[in-house]
Every structure is written in structure tokens, then in C-alpha cells.
Structure 1
């Protein structure tokens, strides 16, 4: 039996937290006198009142959250956060149509970075900061934040963390889940603050530095400028963005070990090595290809190639150039990057390198098993044997991901969009990347889609952000069957 009252209690706490997290936007709105103060205050109060009503109405409920409640809370939290998070857009008139507001908000919380806005720079400062905050909140996962704070309110969080992080690895910084979440958020907040300072010293205004730090560390990609990072034609700013996108795409457990001086643990990670080496190979290859097609300044070409590669693989989605303008071959390579993702345990979306690595290693070992059918050939990651259950889970994930991509592309094609645009829109939504190919390339946006298409792509963003199973399990009869 599912304990719905316990779920409502947690959802109430989440809404209260959302209301509190709107406060920085209110402060910036007053500072810049941008005219959206009342809108933001009203949105915050609604979240606090509605959330407080649910939380305190069920304050005495059973505090043990089992696995089924955990999965329901994770899935519902992203939906409810998106519904309540879109209020500042709608109330301020920045985004009038509800499907548009849902799309923009879901894109923010899932750190996808796709947008329906055609003139970002005309938005008031308070709304712009809230837009960036949605990505920062979603970056490491609103649920990881709550497992760090909710135990103080008497709410357990172990099942929530499991549901939020359904990947194949089980690395933990600390055996106590609350302490684990705290340490990850210390790293996340510390790097964000440090990046604000760097961007500011390198020439951004404090407001731009604040916004871009929030969306860089979350690998979200929202910008305060219509031209995205191309607006800041400053090599130092772009190299800084590249470095911190790379860090944000690294497993945050490894970043914590780095801060503790345990660097051997970083290089011992098979996934991190695959991540780093793949980036270097792609950057080198794309740089050479661009130089061959459009000869020019070597440093500028190298920086342009590196920026686009790191941005897409980490699913950040910043752009400094139109990567679809070089050649069809380069466009195909960048399209394939939409399916990569960075490291598990990072803020990036996508399939993640650990799954690709497991698939490649297992496929390679399969040839050895064919030649030596009686030999026991175990698959090892980080020196540890990977169980058959984990391998099966990864293979199922990859097959399901491919099926959803194909079916999603068919749906978008039937809805009236050309095949290339359909492929691009579905791939970038499911991978939480942002830019893609076709009519949703790096210099385009998603404003032209129909309301149905925007809602459908929003669903795919949620599906990708929660790594498929967390959402899809709710549609199975096994989940609802009584124990």
C-alpha cells in the first residue's frame, strides 16, 4: 500500500523550499527595479502557503519513505516544481501561453536549456535570474538537496536518493546518505561561487556572472544574452566556461575526492578516463576538420571546436558558433554527441559514459567468449566485477533509450515536422542538451513548435532527466499492485 499522505507531506516541503529559493530573484528584482517584484513575491507566497498547508496538515504521518513512495515523490516533484515554477513567467506576462511556460520551466529544471524565447534580453532581471535558478536547482537534483535538509525536519531520504540516482554505479562519499548529499552540495555551491568571481573578474557584469555561473555549473546552458556565450567574445571567459563545464560533467564524488587531495581515486576511475580521452580525441578531430574546411587562426579554431564539443557532451548547450554550418559530416558528429552525456553522478544529462563504457567492454569480451566458450570472462569496471544484473540493466536502458528516440521522432514527424528537425528535437530533449540540428540548431529556438509538440518534448525532458525508469515504472501494473 502506498502512503499517499506521507507523499503529500514531502511534496509540501518541496513547494515551501521552492518558495524560499525564489528569494534571490526577488532581491535582484528590487536592486535593479525591474518591475517584477510583486510577481515574484506573489509566486513565492503561493508556494509557501500551498506547501505549508500540505506539510503541516500531514506533519504526523509515518516518516519512513519506502521505494515506491520514493519513486512517486521524485516523479511528482519535478512535475509540481515545473507547474509552480512557471508562475513567475505567466504572472509577469513574460510568457503568456501555458504550454510555452511549461516548456521553459521544464527545460530549466531538467537543465536542458532549450528555449521558446525569441528575445531573452528584454526580460526583467528578476525573471532572468529565476530562469537561471531553475537550472541551478535542477542541476544536482532537487531531491539531493532535500535529502540533505529534510532529515532535519524528520523526513528520511535514502529511498529518494536511490530514485534520483538510478545509474549503475554505487560509489558513495559517506555511508550516511544525508552526509553524502551535504558534501556534494558543498562542492556544487563552492564551485558556483568561485565561478561567479572568475566571470566577474574576466569582464562580465556581476548580474551576467551570477546567471552564467548558475547555468554553467548546472550544465544547463540558459544565458542572459540572445547570442548565448558568443556574446562574450573573450577567450578567457570562454576557456573558463570550458573548464567548468568539464568539471560539472565530472562525477561530483570524484570532485570531492579532488578537494580532499585524493587524486589517485580520480585517475583510477575508468569512466573519467574514457570521458577525458574521448573529449581530447573529438576536440582534436573537429579542430583539424574545421581548419581544413575554413582555414583561419589556429587558436580561435581550437577554442571554437573545444567549446562546442565540451558544451554538447556535458549537455550544457552553450554555443559560440553554428556547428551545423561547417559540413554535413561535422553536423552528424555533433548530432551523435547528443547521445553521449558526461559522467554518472554529475549534473549532465544524456546516456552517460559509464553505460557506453560498459556496453563497449561487454561487447568486446563477447568476442572472447565466442572463441573460448568455456572460459569465465568477467567484465570489470574500476577493477571491480560488474554483475550480470547491472549489465542487463544497462543493456535494457540503452535499448529503451533507442526505442523512445525512434518512437518520439515518429510522433514529431506525424505532428508535421521534417525528419531532421524531429530527430534533433527528440534527441536533444531526451538527452537534456539544448541545441541540436535542423530547425532546432544552435542559432535557433523551439518557439515555432505547436503546443502539443512543446508538451511532448517537455515529457521527454523529464523522462531523460530521471533516466527513463523512474518515470516509466509508474506506468507499469507491478508498481501499483499491493504488496
Structure 2
């Protein structure tokens, strides 16, 4: 284990996090808020720990997948521990476990909250809460890779450990260039959404924070009514951008370089859009039938886009919907968005490959001599990818079941427990019943909140980094 490189990466994380905290400080100055001092204290602590780690240059810069997974897992934990301090120091979230839950929900783009009154927060805290979504959406280490002096295969281990999906890809030969391209697309789409929302007469502060939540598919709203109080125009803009941010960013790169045919041949994109369209139509019909069909299309489109992309915004309390509509939403909670997007969930590509694997196995049972090759986007799926998907799904189900058992100690109803775990493990935000759009996670005990915190981190980091970090064999010499 190359511990010196891991500590060096953590030094970068703390230093960059300190720099990012200057933005909520500026917001505090604009709105003349005392809470801004809590960010200054946290910045000092980040630099006090981070700079010595950064200045201590590792003698051996080479590291492998094990170090990559550990670096990513520890970086996200350390980043969250420090990121929670402004909430705690300012006493706006006076209990540290609650502050940690809130900031991890932000960084992992989950959007589950312990707050019953979001509007009671100061502007700088609301900004930081939304900004954590934007940082976590593309991945803080993807940003770090644009400046980190690690080259070659080593940086790919960091990208692989943090990027969502079964097979993260390089867009160009150099990882640093890939990271810059991803963040350029990400920033450009965020700015475009801000402009369109402002044109819809949304206040600038609201447009910035809502866009950061949409871009990261996070879902921290800045009003207690989530998005319900905004105009239909702005709700539709948010709907479109939630769907766009749930698309694999490789497709946007192909469009930018003029390879439109390759971009729209994506099998995952076709299934993703088909699932969205089907879910919208079924829910709209179930909600209102033919009467006021246009209204129900708009309402269901927003919620379907919000849930499948794991954003978690709401314009209505879907907890009151018919059972069929709620069942559709729970189903797409697990499906999630596309690989290589900012969305969570199992990912559409994994679902497709698992279904093709099932079809291949059934074909083999019927015709023993048949030889079937699983293809995805006309490319043969490697055995390593199939094995990784199978292990991922087994790990996912074990964590899902264990988490439900763990939080059931709080004695909430079954629907609350199941959807609370589904909402955090899939990085969605709201669930049903007590943790529905009109509720929050504040009623859980600290023990249950820690379980859900683990689920949020495991879901965002695709499970393996957290398992590698906790595996005893990782730390043996």
C-alpha cells in the first residue's frame, strides 16, 4: 500500500475544498451574514491539515487499483467530515451527525435531508448546501485530476474508482485532458440552465442554486415547497435539464466533435429515453386518464425525470399518488440514469447487460450447443465487465438488505424503511411515507443515520471503494 500517495491526494482534496469554501464566504459578505465566519474557521483547519500533506512529496508516485479505491473512499470521507463543520460551527445544524448527514447527502448528490425548514438557513449555508451537489456530481477527484501531477495509468485508477458506471472511458488519450473536457461540458450546461431560468424570471440566487442541484442530480431545494412555487416554464426547464444531466457525458463529447451518428447510436440512451417516456405515459394515465391529460403529463414528466436521474426535486407530494404510480417511481429509483452521467442508481447500462445475460443463459438451457455473445453498442462485453456487474449486484443487494434490517430498529413502517434505503443507496433523495417529498430523515436515530450515510457513500462511489476501504486485506502488509 502506497500510503504516502494516498495522503498526498487527501492533501489536495483538503486544499481544494478550502479554496471552494471561499465562494460561500463571498455569499456571506454579499448578504452580510455572520455565518460566513464558520467557513473561514473551516478553511483554516483544511489548510492546517492539507498543506503539510500536500508539501510532503511521495517518493514513489506509482500506485494501483487498490490505492485508487482507498484514495477515493478516504477523500470523500475526509471531504465530508470537513464540509460538515460550517453547518456545525454556525449552529444552523447544531448536531454534528445531522450536519454530516446533510453534507454527505450533498456531496453524494443524494438530496435526502434532515431539515424540516430549509428556508431558515442563511444564504451562505444554502449556497454551500447546493454547491456540494455540483462538486459531487462530476466528482471532486475528476476536478483534482485536471491539476494533480499524476500521469499515466495511475490517474486512471482514480477516475475508475470515482466514475459512475460499469466501464468508465477516457475520451482522449490523456486523463487530464479527459477531466478538463468533462468539466467544461458540465460547467457549460450548468451556465446554460442558469440563463434559461433567469429568462423565466427566477431570482438569480435561486437560478444558481437550483441549477447546481440539477447539474449534480442532487435535489437540495432552497424552498420548503421544493420546486412547486416556481412557474411551469421553469419547472419544464428543470425537467429537461434533469434528463440531460442523466445522459452519459461521452455522448455530449461525440456531439461536440461532430460524430452525431455515433452519439445517437447509443443503446443505453435509447433505453433510457424509452423508460422515461413509458413511465411518464403510464403515470399520467393513472393520475387523470384523458381528463386534463396535458397537466398530468407535465406533472408526471417532472417527477419521472427527477426520480430516474436521482435528482429528487418535487413539484407535488407523490406520496399521495395511486399505488400504481408510486410503484413505477420506486421501480425507476433502482434503474437510475446512464453510466458516465451525474445520476445515481444501478444504471441503465447495467440493467441492459444483466437482461442480456439472462437471455443468454435461458438460450443455453434450451439449446445446450448454442454459443451466444453478449454485445452492448455492437461491442462484445468482456468477461471482466460481466463479472464486475454480477459482483456489484450481489454486493448491492447485501447492502440493501442489511441496511433495511439495521434501520428497522427505529420501528418505522416497512415502506419508510425500504424507500429510505432505496433513496440513499441510489442517491435519490425522497422516499415514501415518513421520508416522502413532504417529510425528511430527521426522525431517524444517529445509528440509522450512520447506516444511511454509508449507503449514500457506497451508492455514489459504486460500492467497491467503500468495500475495499473496509476490507481487512487492504491494510495487510
Alignment of 1:65-144 (within 5 A): 65-144=63-142
Contact 1:151–1:178 (CA under 8 A) maintained in structure 2 = no
2:227 corresponds in structure 1 to: 229
Q: Which moved more, 1:208-217 or 1:171-180?
A: 171-180
Q: Does 1:467 align with 2:466?
A: no
C-alpha separation in 2, matches of 1:264 and 1:59:
46
TM-score, structure 1 as length reference: 0.95
1:137 aligned counterpart, secondary structure = helix
Contact 2:159–2:168 (CA under 8 A) maintained in structure 1 = no
C-alpha separation in 2, matches of 1:161 and 1:230:
37
Contact 1:324–1:330 (CA under 8 A) maintained in structure 2 = no
Q: Does 1:26 align with 2:13?
A: no
1:179-230 superposed Cα distances (whole Å, 9 cap, x missing partner):
1111000000111111111111111111001101111000000111111111
2:14 corresponds in structure 1 to: 15
1:413 aligned counterpart, secondary structure = helix
TM-score, structure 2 as length reference: 0.96
1:366 aligned counterpart, secondary structure = helix
Contact 1:99–1:451 (CA under 8 A) maintained in structure 2 = yes
Return the match for 1:244 from 230, 241, 246.
241
Return the match for 1:317 from 312, 315, 324.
312
Change in Cα spacing, 1:368 to 1:472, as seen in structure 2 (3 Å) is: same
RMSD: 1.8
Q: Which moved more, 1:40-49 or 1:419-428?
A: 40-49
Deviation >4 Å, runs of 4+? 152-156
1:348 corresponds in structure 2 to: 343
Q: Does 1:165 align with 2:163?
A: yes
C-alpha separation in 2, matches of 1:73 and 1:61:
17
1:230 aligned counterpart, secondary structure = coil
Contact 1:342–1:352 (CA under 8 A) maintained in structure 2 = yes
1:180 corresponds in structure 2 to: 178
1:297 corresponds in structure 2 to: 292
Change in Cα spacing, 1:25 to 1:143, as seen in structure 2 (3 Å) is: same
1:456 corresponds in structure 2 to: 451
1:423 corresponds in structure 2 to: 418
Q: Aligned-pair distance for 1:267?
A: 1.7
1:234-293 superposed Cα distances (whole Å, 9 cap, x missing partner):
11101110111111100111112222232212221111111011111111111111113x
C-alpha separation in 1, matches of 2:242 and 2:36:
32
C-alpha separation in 1, matches of 2:154 and 2:357:
37
Contact 1:110–1:138 (CA under 8 A) maintained in structure 2 = yes
Contact 1:431–1:461 (CA under 8 A) maintained in structure 2 = yes
Alignment of 1:141-220 (within 5 A): 141-151=139-149, 157-165=155-163, 167-220=165-218
C-alpha separation in 2, matches of 1:4 and 1:170:
25
Alignment of 1:438-457 (within 5 A): 438-457=433-452
Q: Aligned-pair distance for 1:481?
A: 4.0
Alignment of 1:351-390 (within 5 A): 351-390=346-385
Q: Aligned-pair distance for 1:170?
A: 4.3
Contact 2:339–2:348 (CA under 8 A) maintained in structure 1 = yes
1:336 corresponds in structure 2 to: 331
C-alpha separation in 1, matches of 2:326 and 2:164:
31
Q: Aligned-pair distance for 1:93?
A: 1.0
Contact 1:311–1:318 (CA under 8 A) maintained in structure 2 = yes
Unaligned residue ranges in structure 2 (runs of 5+): none
Q: Aligned-pair distance for 1:378?
A: 0.4
Contact 1:355–1:394 (CA under 8 A) maintained in structure 2 = yes
C-alpha separation in 1, matches of 2:18 and 2:168:
32
Contact 2:8–2:58 (CA under 8 A) maintained in structure 1 = no
Contact 1:16–1:49 (CA under 8 A) maintained in structure 2 = no
Contact 1:343–1:354 (CA under 8 A) maintained in structure 2 = yes
